[in-house]
Amino acid sequence: MNYTLTSTVGLPGGVKMPILGLGTFLSEPGPTTRQAVMWALEVGYRHIDTARIYDNERDVGEGVRESGISRSEVFITTKVWNDDQGYDSALRACEASLKRLGTDYVDLYLIHWPVPQKRRETWRALIRLWEEKTARAIGVSNFMIRHLDELLGTSDVVPAVNQVEISPFIQRKALVDYCRSKGIVVEAYSPLSRGQRLKDPRLVAMAKKYGKTPAQIALRWVIQQGIVAIPKSVHRERIVENAAIFDFAIDEKDMAEITRWDEHCSVLEAWEPETSNLWD
């Protein structure tokens, strides 16, 4: 498949999700986030990922408006934070997020973490938001196979997306295969391992071979599998660099080589949802 910066993956109801988006976790509220969003839109990104807990929804909304690009052309994701989970509180949380974003709908609303005892009621609230068209698509984040099995056992509505940490160093193959088998689009967060593994000698060598940067190899490896990627940067040159991944392809042999780098190495530590019992 030949991807471009405007390539999308299909979600239920004809919703189109751009394969590359801008992440905004730890993107400082205020001008820093506004500027990053505007640069990304100027470069051609049409997808921004935020969350209530990032404290920058207002700036994401302002960045989109100031860019002059129409709201309908930008795919905006936000998420219900853990202490807002539950039926009524999730509905209220979405309303508050919309107000901060300055929009009357989100393209994708996610359950940020599978909070025990709360996630089921939260999912019911998201279904209502989807039925009311307040959220064009709904999904989950940090859900492992056990959480998805539980959700699908109690709901007929399949999450459109599961946003989880994926990079060459944490590949989650079983989860990706499971999601594909259920028609759930996989979205990779921390695809650059938050910058922590970009000096890995194997990644550096492969980057040299393709005349690309380590970040570009990591991102190309993600999207070449049809997985959505949302690298974060507040620097213009990196926002540009992270989008310059559509003029080359990693060959089959090297895709297979990267598969061997999987170490289940997460940036999350104690919260890692596969191994932690915090989310049981």
Provide the annotated active-site residues.
Answer: 54
Q: What is the per-residue binding string for ligand NAP in 216-235, x denoting contact by CB under 6 A?
A: --------------xxxxxx
The C-alpha atoms of residue 141 and residue 209 are separated, in whole angstroms, by 34
Which of residues 80, 179, 215, 228 is near ligand NAP by CB under 6 A? 215
Go through the chain and tell me how many residues it has: 280
Cβ-contact 186, 227 below 8 angstroms:
yes
- State which residue, 103 or 142, has the beta carbon closest to ligand NAP: 142
Euclidean distance between CA atoms 204 and 195, whole angstroms: 13
Range 205-221 burial, b when 16+ CB lie within 10 A, else e:
ebbeeeebbbbbbbbbb
Can you point out the beta strands (E) in 91-227? Answer: 106-111, 135-141, 161-165, 185-189
273 binds ligand NAP (CB under 6 A): no
Q: Is 85 in the site for ligand NAP (CB under 6 A)?
A: no
Candidates 93-101, 118-126, 130-138, 193-201 — which segment interacts with ligand NAP by CB under 6 A?
193-201
Based on CB atoms, which residue is closest to ligand NAP, 14 or 245? Answer: 245
Site membership for ligand NAP, residue 200 (CB under 6 A): no
Say how many Å lie between the first and final Cα of the chain, rounded: 37
Residue from the set 9, 49, 61, 148 that interacts with ligand NAP by CB under 6 A: 49
**Which tokens go with 129?**
């938001």
Instruction: Give, as ranges, the residues between 129 and 158 that touch ligand NAP (CB under 6 A).
Output: 141-142
Under rule CB under 6 A, residue 190 binds ligand NAP: yes
Residue nearest to ligand NAP (CB): 23
Answer for the pair 23, 230: CB distance below 8 angstroms, yes or no.
Answer: yes
* Amino acid in the structure at residue 187: E
Q: At its nearest, how many Å lie between ligand NAP and the CB of residue 186?
A: 12
Q: Is 52 in the site for ligand NAP (CB under 6 A)?
A: no
Structural contact between residues 122 and 151, judged by C-beta atoms closer than 8 angstroms? no
The whole-angstrom separation of Cα 44 and Cα 40 is 6
Would you count residue 33 as binding ligand NAP (CB under 6 A)? no
Q: Which stretch binds ligand NAP (CB under 6 A): 7-15, 56-64, 116-124, 187-195?
A: 187-195
Residue ranges that bind ligand NAP, judged by CB under 6 A? 23-25, 49, 112, 141-142, 163, 189-195, 198, 215, 230-235, 238, 241-242
